[in-house]
Amino acid sequence: MFADDTTIHAHHQKIEPLASLLQLSADELQAWTESNHMSLNPQKTEVMLLTTRQKRQNLATPFPTTQIGAQSITEVQFHKLMGVTIDNNLSWSQHISTTSKNISKKVYQLSRIKHFLDTHTRKLFYLTHIQSVIDYASTLWDSASGSSMKPLASVQRRAIKAVLLKPKLDPRKASVACKTTGIVTVSMTPGIGNTRDCESEVCSVR
């Protein structure tokens, strides 16, 4: 038997005690899996040190190697867990970049079929395939900086243009468009990025 997506963690203010705690947890996990007739795959196991960028730069020594049995575990800068990409600085830039690329593919699909769909169906496509991706686990990464949010806001604006069938939007009609479509932009979502009013955000579509 094999157990997937198992995560262990340890925390300490100093690097050496932290490495010892993590190694102890890894040893205990390996012993538990073996006693329950399961197996850990060291080649699919990764370790990541979470800290601030400033503290990482001040580390006197690299993070000690963690092992499963006689095999060393690869240290990574980011890791995908339950659909969320976590980076070792907790900046969420990698997750936002990955999310933006995934959404961009959906926006391309929408742009190819938009003229064959009515407004309701285009909006339904948007909510199902684009907004749902943006909303997923957003409470985790909604503290990301405004600069990190730019790729996501950009691809969402492309999606809005496809839904509205408008390469440009008259500022005088922006508020009406928000009300009729019910689309909430990244910058309008509570807690995500810099909140702006509906009109200024929709008018930023170019």
Per residue in 46-58, pLDDT tens?
999 988 888 888 8
Helices then strands, each counted (H, E), the chain: 9, 6
Q: Which residues share a beta bridge with 71?
A: 68
Mean pLDDT of 154-181: 72
Distance CA 145, CA 153 (A): 12
pTM across the whole model: 0.73
Contact assessment for residue 203 and residue 174, using Cβ atoms and an 8 Å cutoff: yes
Mean pLDDT of 109-121: 94
**Statement: residue 190 has pLDDT above 60:** no
pLDDT tens, position by position, 24-36: 999 999 999 899 8
Closest of 91, 96, 16 to residue 50, by C-alpha: 91
End-to-end Cα spacing for the chain: 54
Higher-pLDDT residue of 121, 201: 121
Contact assessment for residue 149 and residue 192, using Cβ atoms and an 8 Å cutoff: yes
**Statement: residue 180 has pLDDT above 70:** no
